[in-house]
């Protein structure tokens, strides 16, 4: 699939430092020191509805990761998927009497437009589940042939017990895993499974549902976790720097994916850091497509909200926090954008080299975007109240805010 166009990232004087980031697997903050090419996989959307503020907040976190790495003069190899065939997509298409492929294409296009408007840097490889099927089938065959997967009425399940490191991404106990598995696409109560947590790798064709040639697996479609593993291993290999997504993906999705990859390759770990963004809520409940309590990025844009203000609203919360979207959050961002624009539109101003370092320092410290905004606020307030004469300062601030925070002033 094609991704979306990249906005330019202005070069800044000096060089950023290595990112310190919270890793769910080690349950602490680690310093990542990638090679000349940093490698990141971020789970993409299931395109049955438009991009909401929760999605945008999660992608904003990983966009900051890219910007920090680019600022260290590294290249970034970024891979993202689109879950363009899965139960919720098929159910929504059936409910609304529309073709599932058209629904997926329409919502993926809208997602690309939203990401472009928000200045999120695109992945180099943007891969749909459907196009990944030829790579998924041999992986499932290998797992089965190695005794790490088994058949149940034509469906193929992964045996979580085949991975000695199972549980090391989310650190949950069996009871919590079982509850979350039932909530998030698993089938712990299905009779005949070796372990209730075992996730499906390949689902045998069901009447009325799309299916693909699965060679020795028979016709069917892929499970959710193996989709991301096949794409990540194909484009990044093992031991990549960050596996990213919202905190609702830590279990089962990232736990199962890590186990699939570790059993397939015999290597550990799949990723050096598992990074999880907090959940955005609306009216006290997690924003989710299934509940329908959503604020869409595209709807805000249609209503005339500047995408830079949406981005500032996302940045005003730490990526690991769970937070609530309200009209005030947006109103504050709109006001902040106006103040910042006024400050950089003056012909000269207060020196800003120290500010660039402060933004850098905040971001390498577990992506402290609110800290970065506070630093810019201090410069802006001083600038708007004084008459500095550094002619390069307003331009430097604009470039830094664009390069490091993705906000065009």
Nearest to ligand 5CA of 75, 316 (CB atom) = 316
Smallest Cα–Cα separation from 404: which of 277, 288, 315? Answer: 315
- Which range, of 149-157, 193-201, 278-286, 386-394, touches ligand 5CA by CB under 6 A? 278-286
**352, 391 contact by CB (below 8 A):** no
Q: Which does 21 bind (CB under 5 to 8 A by kind): Zn ion, ligand 5CA, none?
A: none
- Which range, of 38-46, 231-239, 307-315, 341-349, touches ligand 5CA by CB under 6 A? 38-46
Binding of residue 245 to ligand 5CA (CB under 6 A): yes
Contacting ligand 5CA within 209-228 (CB under 6 A): 228
Nearest to Zn ion of 79, 400 (CB atom) = 79
* CB neighbourhood size of 148 (10 A): 20
Q: Which residues of 44-57 are buried (b: 16+ CB within 10 A; e: fewer)?
A: bbbbbbbbbbbbbb
Contacting ligand 5CA within 53-112 (CB under 6 A): 54-55, 57-58, 81, 83
The dihedral through the CA atoms of 92, 94, 98, 99 has a sign that is: positive
Nearest to ligand 5CA of 222, 394 (CB atom) = 222
Nearest to ligand 5CA of 78, 150 (CB atom) = 78
Q: Between the CA of residue 86 and those of 46, 111, 228, what are the distances in Å?
A: 8, 18, 13
What CA–CA distance (Å, rounded) separates 71 from 193? 48
CB of 115 to ligand 5CA, least distance (A): 12
What CA–CA distance (Å, rounded) separates 226 from 239? 17
**End-to-end CA, the chain:** 31
Binding of residue 120 to Zn ion (CB under 5 A): no
Q: Which does 279 bind (CB under 5 to 8 A by kind): Zn ion, ligand 5CA, none?
A: ligand 5CA
Is 209 buried (19+), middle (13-18) or exposed (0-12) by CB count in 10 A? Answer: middle
Q: Which does 280 bind (CB under 5 to 8 A by kind): Zn ion, ligand 5CA, none?
A: ligand 5CA
CB of 55 to ligand 5CA, least distance (A): 4
Q: For the chain, how big is the Rg over CA atoms in Å?
A: 22
**282, 35 contact by CB (below 8 A):** no
What CA–CA distance (Å, rounded) separates 248 from 251? 7
Binding of residue 315 to ligand 5CA (CB under 6 A): no
The dihedral through the CA atoms of 195, 129, 216, 239 has a sign that is: negative
CB of 81 to ligand 5CA, least distance (A): 6
Nearest to Zn ion of 45, 367 (CB atom) = 45
What CA–CA distance (Å, rounded) separates 95 from 290? 13
**95, 282 contact by CB (below 8 A):** no
Q: How many chain residues bind ligand 5CA (CB under 6 A)?
A: 21
Binding of residue 236 to ligand 5CA (CB under 6 A): no
Nearest to Zn ion of 249, 300 (CB atom) = 249
What CA–CA distance (Å, rounded) separates 276 from 246? 5
Nearest to ligand 5CA of 83, 168 (CB atom) = 83
Contact letters for Zn ion, residues 196-235 (x by CB under 5 A) = --------------------------------x-------
Binding of residue 250 to ligand 5CA (CB under 6 A): no
Which residues sit at the interface with ligand 5CA, rule CB under 6 A?
Answer: 43-46, 54-55, 57-58, 81, 83, 228, 245-246, 248-249, 277, 279-280, 286-288
Which residues sit at the interface with Zn ion, rule CB under 5 A?
Answer: 43, 228
């Amino acid at each position: 699939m094609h991704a979306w166009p990249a906005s330019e990232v202005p070069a800044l004087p000096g060089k950023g430092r290595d990112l310190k980031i919270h890793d769910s697997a080690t349950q602490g903050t680690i310093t990542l020191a990638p090679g000349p090419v940093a490698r990141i996989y971020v789970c993409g959307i299931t395109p049955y509805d438009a991009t909401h503020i929760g999605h945008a907040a999660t992608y904003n976190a990983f966009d900051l990761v890219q910007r920090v790495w680019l600022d260290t003069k590294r290249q970034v190899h970024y891979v993202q998927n689109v879950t363009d065939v899965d139960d919720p997509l098929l159910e929504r298409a059936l409910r609304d009497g529309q073709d599932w492929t058209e629904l997926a294409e329409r919502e993926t296009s809208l997602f690309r437009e939203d990401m472009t408007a928000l200045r999120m840097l695109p992945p180099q490889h943007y891969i749909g589940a459907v196009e990944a099927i030829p790579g998924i089938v041999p992986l499932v065959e290998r797992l089965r042939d190695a005794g790490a997967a088994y058949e149940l009425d034509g469906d193929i399940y992964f045996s979580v017990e085949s991975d000695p490191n199972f549980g090391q991404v989310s650190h949950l106990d069996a009871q919590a895993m079982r509850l979350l598995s039932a909530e998030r696409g698993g089938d712990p109560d299905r009779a005949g499974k070796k372990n209730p947590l075992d996730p499906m790798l390949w689902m045998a064709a069901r009447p009325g549902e799309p299916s693909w040639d699965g060679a020795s697996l028979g016709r069917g479609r892929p499970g959710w976790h193996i989709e991301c593993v096949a794409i990540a291993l194909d484009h990044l290999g093992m031991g990549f720097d960050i596996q990213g997504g919202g905190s609702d993906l830590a279990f089962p999705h990232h736990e199962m994916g890590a186990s699939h990859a570790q059993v397939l390759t015999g290597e550990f770990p799949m990723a050096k850091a598992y990074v999880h963004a907090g959940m955005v809520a609306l009216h006290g409940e997690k924003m989710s497509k299934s509940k329908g309590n959503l604020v869409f990025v595209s709807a805000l844009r249609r209503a005339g909200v500047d995408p830079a203000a949406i981005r500032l609203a996302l940045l005003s919360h730490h990526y690991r926090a769970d937070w609530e979207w309200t009209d005030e959050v947006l109103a504050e961002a709109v006001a902040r954008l106006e103040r910042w624009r006024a400050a950089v539109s003056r012909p000269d101003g207060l020196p800003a080299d120290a500010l660039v370092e402060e933004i850098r320092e905040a971001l390498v410290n577990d992506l402290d975007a609110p800290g970065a905004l506070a630093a810019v606020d201090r410069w802006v307030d001083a600038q708007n109240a004084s008459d500095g004469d550094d002619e390069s300062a307003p331009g430097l601030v604009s470039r830094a805010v664009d390069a490091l925070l993705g906000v065009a002033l």
